[in-house]
């Protein structure tokens, strides 16, 4: 079963989750600038919100790799929003890619808000999320 982890980050919060998830399932986390190299059954895809929207690079990644993606498992960080799931759902539908209803989200630090997040507890929860999906 091919598993991959891709993420988009600006300040490193979502990369922390990506690296925890990747470590838990024995792969390497890579940014969305790196295309999938082969058919991938489970894609953990990490994103965040900037002025209520995901970065366009996430959209381009899904569009460019849609034929290689089995199922997307969304994970995200944000300061206020509950997750990027709705935006990912819209994108997945546009590209004809399956999106699992299972996702992982936690707070991400932003200025004075949520300092230290994701923290160790967040990373542990992200690892468990990924291991549960891949077992
Ligand atoms: C320019 C900018 C705009 C943001 N807008 C939002 C927002 O609209 N809603 C929200 O919940 N968080 C917002 N945030 C906070 C980020 O979503 C949060 O810090 C996230 O963890 C950043 O992830 P990253 O470090 O992986 O880029 C914004 C952050 C930045 C830098």
Cβ-in-10-Å burial (0-12, 13-18, 19+) of 31 comes to middle
> What's the domain count of the chain?
1
Q: Could you list the residue range(s) of the whole structural domain that residue 43 is in?
A: 3-134
* Cβ(9) – ligand 1 distance below 6 Å: yes
Measured in Å, residue 2 CA sits from the centre of ligand 1 at 30
**Atom 23 in ligand 1: residue holding the nearest Cα:** 13
**pLDDT, tens digit, for every residue of 11-54?**
999 999 999 999 999 999 999 999 999 999 999 999 999 998 99
pLDDT in tens, 120-132: 999 999 999 999 9
80-106, pLDDT tens digit by residue?
999 999 999 999 999 999 999 999 999
Q: Is the CB of 57 under 6 A from ligand 1?
A: no
pLDDT for the residue numbered 52: 87
pLDDT for the residue numbered 90: 98
d(Cα 101, Cα 111) in Å, to the nearest integer? 30
pLDDT-derived band at 59 (thresholds 50, 70, 90) equals very high
CATH of the domain at 124: 3.40.50.360
Residue pair 30/67 in contact (Cβ under 8 Å)? The answer is no
Predicted TM-score (pTM) of this structure:
0.98
Of 11, 49, 57, the one to substitute when testing ligand 1's pocket (max ligand atoms within 8 A of C-beta) is 49
Nearest CA to ligand 1 atom 30: 50
């Amino acid at each position: 079963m091919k598993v991959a982890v891709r993420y988009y980050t600006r300040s490193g919060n979502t990369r922390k989750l990506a690296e925890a998830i990747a470590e838990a399932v024995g792969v390497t986390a890579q940014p969305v600038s790196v295309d999938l190299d082969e058919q991938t059954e489970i894609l953990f895809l990490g994103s965040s919100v900037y002025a209520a929207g995901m970065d366009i690079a996430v959209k381009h990644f899904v569009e460019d790799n849609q034929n290689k993606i089995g199922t997307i498992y969304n994970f995200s960080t944000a300061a206020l929003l509950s997750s990027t799931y709705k935006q990912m759902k819209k994108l997945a539908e546009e590209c004809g890619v399956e999106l699992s209803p299972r996702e992982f989200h936690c707070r991400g630090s932003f200025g004075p808000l949520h300092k230290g997040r994701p923290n160790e507890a967040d990373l542990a929860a992200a690892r468990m999320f990924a291991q549960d999906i891949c077992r």
